[in-house]
Amino acid sequence: MTQQPRRHRISSLHWLLRHSAGQGVPGPTRGERGIALLLALLIGMLLIAAATGLLIRQLMARKLGASESYQQLAETAAVNGFNRILGRLNNNIPGDYLGFLYAVNNREKAGEPGIPAPGYQWNLFATDAPPVLPQLCTNSSALLSNGVINWDPLDETPLSLPSDADTLRDDGRDDAIKTYYRLRGYAKPSGEGVFEVEGLVRREGTGEGEELSRALLTRTLNVSAMVLTPEDWAVIAGNYLNLGSSSIAGASTESKGKIVWNVSSDANFRNPSSNCANATYLKTLPGLSFSGSDTSIESAIARDLWPVLQGSIPLTSYDKGKTIDMMPGSTSKVRIWSFDDSGGSASGCSNSVVCARAHDSTVTLVPAVSKTRDSSNSRWTVAIDADDICAANNSTNTVCHLFVEHINLNNTDLRFRTLGSAIDAVVLHLELPYNTAVASGLSGRIQLDGNSSLCLTSTGGTSCDVSQPERLVISSSTGPQPSQCNSITSKPYVLQIAGDALPAALIHLPKASLSLSAEAQMAGIVWAHDICANGHGLQLSTEVGGTPVIASAQEFWGWEPENGYGRQVLRGIRGTGLDIFKRF
């Protein structure tokens, strides 16, 4: 066979391939090829769009995650800032005490019901017209340094970073992320404190208005007034204080309790630093007078004096285990007592030093109690046993409340022999039990001469027991408003004592007066609307056996620091409201 040239063989192959293709299945038309191309383009576009969307989604997720992270940092900063502010305000160390700010509005916003007038007032403590505090002699020096405010939570304050970190969040940039807080406002509606604290997140080196995130926390606290120590409680209190040469614990160099003066105006205490504890100044004020044989007595009174704006003596503090003494055989007729050793029918009963009647009658009778007379000196001893009083409910832990309308003793020892019995304490009420009770013509006074005595003693005892003054209370919470010391020797609702006639007791006379007819000594506390020394003095002991009388009274009567009467401190306590966060 003859060999064909190679070029000729390739040309023949091309012809065969083209010929065989023309003889097979017909190929797509031009239109079909166009549709296929279009579909391919659409699929490509969809793939590109999907990839782009996924990329955008990832970028948005990252951005939202960063934003949420910044927001959480801002909210955390607001909470931490609030806790720091609260820690400063709740610090009860005397030299660092700032709790008085709870009583002062410090916000710009106004208009809400019950919200005080607008204005940032905390800074006014550095001016000549500081805000008026109810406790007028509160020491506000912890807020000042050289007359300038040393702590202003309205200023932006940075929160420190952890010791091993340069930034709170690593977002790939060199500038550190830091958080800050500031107080936006504080208002004190009744019994509450409403705080607004702002938390901010900012990159280091940026300024105000360039925050990455901000959050505003609104939190409500209950604001509680507390008397923390026995030395802060009132041991003498009243609206009109004519103290004469009275002293507490012999004018001790250390305070043994406060002398609370309830005043209606702050006019005399506009400058606490110079007005308070200044004996020379205080002696010039109307409604207050005191004197002493030496300057130590006056200085001690000035040191312990504690004026309270619109203050008042608590009306009820002795209701624990209350049982009212009734007429024998009755559960509805309150027995009203009277005692008088002047003779005749001075007590209301003929020739008897003691007398009683029902509250709805003027018919009197001599109660069945022990009465003995020493013929050598004509001295009477009236002993009232636990079985003689509150018999209707004379069980364990009974506090017996007796109502008296007249006591005038000059040479008589009146003993309540209840210590160690089922009766834990005796409360003598110088008042009628009900508004509808029938009044008699007796004085409505308690007068104890220096040669007489009224006290508690043990069952079968004869001598006064002065170790538990908290178990004998003389109270008067009704009656007309006393008129200072005018006509003090004749008007009703007056407790008048001399010497050691009342050796140990708690005197609680929110609507009555205490009067001295001579120098007097007593262990206990004295709360009376008016205290009238009449040129004399009361030597008040506020400790028995080294224990403050107030501490014993707190334990026995259940007095809580939150309801204390004296020098109060304010504390913020977690309320029941929910925290509110605002993002902006």
Q: Are 572 and 102 in contact (CB under 8 A)?
A: yes
Residue 17, pLDDT score = 47
- Is residue 567 predicted with pLDDT exceeding 90? yes
- Is residue 20 predicted with pLDDT exceeding 90? no
| Virtual torsion, Cα 325, 327, 333, 339, nearest 10 deg | -70
Residue at token pair 């409604």: 287
Q: Which stretch of DSSP H or E encloses residue 281?
A: helix 279-282
- Is residue 64 predicted with pLDDT exceeding 60? no
3-state secondary structure 372-428: EEECCCCEEEEEEEHHHCCHHHCCCCEEEEEEEEEEEECCEEEEEEEECCCEEEEEE
Between these two residues, 112 and 504, which has the higher pLDDT value?
A: 504
Residue 247, pLDDT score = 93
Residue 2, pLDDT score = 47
How many whole angstroms separate alpha carbon 549 and alpha carbon 543? 5
Instruction: Tell me what the mean pLDDT of segment 14-29 comes to.
Output: 54
Return the closest-CA partner of residue 286 out of 306, 268, 270: 268
pLDDT tens per residue, range 377-389: 889 999 999 999 9
- Beta-sheet strands, E only, within 294-359: 305-309, 322-324, 335-340, 354-358
Residue at token pair 């000729």: 8
Q: Are 183 and 197 in contact (CB under 8 A)?
A: yes
**What band does 562 get if pLDDT is binned at 50, 70 and 90?**
confident
How many whole angstroms separate alpha carbon 199 and alpha carbon 73? 8
**What band does 582 get if pLDDT is binned at 50, 70 and 90?**
confident
pLDDT tens per residue, range 313-340: 998 778 888 899 999 988 899 999 999 9
Between these two residues, 162 and 471, which has the higher pLDDT value?
A: 471
Give percent above pLDDT 70 in the chain.
Answer: 88
What residue spans define the domains of the chain? 57-227+572-583, 228-316+524-567, 322-476
Between these two residues, 8 and 143, which has the higher pLDDT value?
A: 143
Instruction: Tell me what the mean pLDDT of segment 221-236 comes to.
Output: 93
Structure tokens at 19: 């010929």
In this predicted structure, which of 233-242, 255-264, 519-528, 571-580 has the lowest mean pLDDT?
571-580
Q: What is the DSSP string of 130-177?
A: PPPPSBTT---GGGEETTEES--TTS-EEEPPPTT-S-SS--S-SSPE
Half-sphere exposure of 489 (CA within 13 A, CB side): 4
**What band does 484 get if pLDDT is binned at 50, 70 and 90?**
confident
**What band does 467 get if pLDDT is binned at 50, 70 and 90?**
very high
- Is residue 217 predicted with pLDDT exceeding 70? yes
Between these two residues, 71 and 499, which has the higher pLDDT value?
A: 499
Give percent above pLDDT 90 in the chain.
Answer: 56
Instruction: Tell me what the mean pLDDT of segment 169-180 comes to.
Output: 71
Q: Are 304 and 249 in contact (CB under 8 A)?
A: no
- Beta-sheet strands, E only, within 411-553: 412-419, 423-430, 445-448, 453-458, 472-475, 494-499, 504-532, 538-541, 543-544, 547-548
Residue 63, pLDDT score = 56
Residue 240, pLDDT score = 96
Residue 293, pLDDT score = 73
**What band does 50 get if pLDDT is binned at 50, 70 and 90?**
confident
**What band does 58 get if pLDDT is binned at 50, 70 and 90?**
low
Mean pLDDT of the chain: 86
Residue 311, pLDDT score = 93
Residue 172, pLDDT score = 56
Q: Are 398 and 329 in contact (CB under 8 A)?
A: no
3-state secondary structure 549-573: HHHHHHHHHCCCHHHCCECCEEEEE
Q: Are 185 and 582 in contact (CB under 8 A)?
A: no
Q: Is 514 helix (H, G, I), strand (E, B) or coil?
A: strand
- Judged on CB neighbours under 10 Å (0-12, 13-18, 19+), 92 is middle
Q: In this structure, what are the phi and psi dihedrals at residue 64, rounded to the nearest 5 degrees?
A: -65, -40
**What band does 28 get if pLDDT is binned at 50, 70 and 90?**
low
pLDDT tens per residue, range 181-213: 999 999 887 778 999 999 999 888 777 878 888
Between these two residues, 173 and 186, which has the higher pLDDT value?
A: 186
pTM, whole model, 2 decimals? Answer: 0.83
Q: Is 55 helix (H, G, I), strand (E, B) or coil?
A: helix
Residue 115, pLDDT score = 47
